[in-house]
Amino acid sequence: MAPPRVERLLTAIDVGSSKVAVLIAGQTADGTLHALGTGVRESLGVKRGYVVDIPAVDRSVREALEQAERMAGIEVQHAWVSFGGGSLTSRIIEHEDPFNRGQIEPEDVDELLARARSQYLRDDRAILHAQPTLYTLDGNHGIKDPVGLFADRFGVAIHMVEADRGPVSNLVTAVRAAHVDIREVVATMMATGRSSLTEEQRDLGTALVDIGASLTNIGLFAGGMLVGIATISAGGNDITDDIANEFGTRRSQAERLKCFYGSAMSSPRDHQDQLDIGTGDEDEGGRPKITRAQLNAVIRKRLDHFVPQIGEVLKQLGDGGPGSRQVVLTGGTSELKGMADYVQNVLGGSARTARPSGVVSLPSANVNPAFSTAVGLVLYAADPPEDIRPVGRDRPEVEGPQRWWRRMMAMWDRGK
């Protein structure tokens, strides 16, 4: 079978605290997205979602990008980049004007959004998204498309996603240092919601919880869109550190214990299963051992601390609280055994772990929650939502193409 004819190339770069993930996808005439190349490298120079070492991030991005380019057989000129730092916040602003023109026309909507933009965009924060959500006619809320309707007062609610300018600028600088032109910086939750939730889930009301290595991003979806976002400074690395400290082992061994043997739920057999913790300071005959119950007790202690925080955040984002809606988990730490059951027991309602979807031919190694943001970025790029920010304001235009050989020469120079 001949390969699909690609009409548009889209590249996603997800810079996280533990890894940099790159996805190159091709869009065909029928709108289908095909994975052409993927790259994953350890994330260096990022702490709790913030860039703290630009050259290190540059190297990580460069290596992940080149891995994906080799697989795809193409060179990337521009990309969509994720941002999930702790300074992310969101707010809903409402703007309403008298309306005396009778029936609403498309140009009336444009004028309303222009007035809202001029009044509410500000310079002290980086505005990643400013998306019209629902319209208001004569005090009646929840109208998706007002064109053709009549009203005396016409308003709109706009969802603003903002972040501190410094961390966003550092991320942009680090990625551009790898000679990549940035089409848009996208909030992690905005992208992940595209790949992890169905259209019906986004419409009915779902809480999406992205549990990463160092941060937990929480988003509330309703009416088909993201309506609230928050971040907790906790993640899988905290569990790993707890295990390493409790049993005096290396972080690499603690990570292995967590991923292969750890669980958020306990069972009677846990007291019988013996695990070799391998601290590295003993010979083969003297390796210390622990029970699975001891390991899971450390994991549960950390989860008991930060999972209830997720519930408190959800209560702040939505009036109903977590028990009144479905909770969907994603991110690398969501793959911890028993995690969905544990979250469901603590928060109530229903909880499940989602894998990314929406891109065909994705390698099986990447069909996991840790790759959800990269897949979501491609889906976002293929079908971006309406945004009232003017081009050039926190929405960088595409610069001239940078060539693959420039990245290679930069790496060569650093290696001399």
Which CATH number belongs to the domain containing residue 131 in this structure?
A: 3.30.1490.110
**CB of 27 within 8 A of CB of 33?**
yes
- Summarize pLDDT for 252-269 with one digit per residue, the tens: 999 999 999 999 999 989
Residue 416 has pLDDT above 50, yes or no: no
**In a shared domain, residues 210 and 191:** no
Residues 34 and 177 in one domain: yes
66-110 per-position pLDDT tens digit: 999 999 999 999 999 999 987 888 888 899 999 998 899 999 999
Is a pLDDT exceeding 60 seen at residue 395?
Answer: no
pLDDT on residue 227: 85
What global pTM score does this model have?
Answer: 0.88
Domain-ending residue, one of 353, 377, 395: 353
Q: CB count, 10 Å around CB of 71?
A: 16
Would the pLDDT of 41 be above 60?
A: yes
Instruction: Decide if 270 contacts 292 (C-beta within 8 A).
Output: yes
Domain that holds residue 380: 1-87+164-197+357-416
Name, in order, each residue with C-beta under 8 angstroms of 210's C-beta and a sequence gap of 6 or more.
Answer: 84, 188, 189, 192, 216, 217, 218, 219, 330, 331, 334, 372, 373
Q: Helix, strand, or coil here: 101? A: coil
Residue 191, both tokens: 């992208």
Q: How many alpha carbons fall within 13 Å on the CB side of residue 308? A: 5
* Residues 94 and 18 both lie in one domain: no
Three-class SS state of 20: strand
Q: How many domains does the chain have?
A: 3
Q: In the listed set 306, 338, 353, which residue is the last one of a domain according to the structure?
A: 353
- Say if residue 394 is in the same domain as residue 309: no
Q: Distance between CA 359 and CA 381 in Å, rounded?
A: 12
- Find where tokens 């007062």 sit: 153
Q: 228 with 103, same domain?
A: no
Q: Are residues 365 and 333 in the same domain?
A: no
* Cα–Cα distance, 356 to 320 (Å, whole number): 27
CATH code for position 39: 3.30.420.40
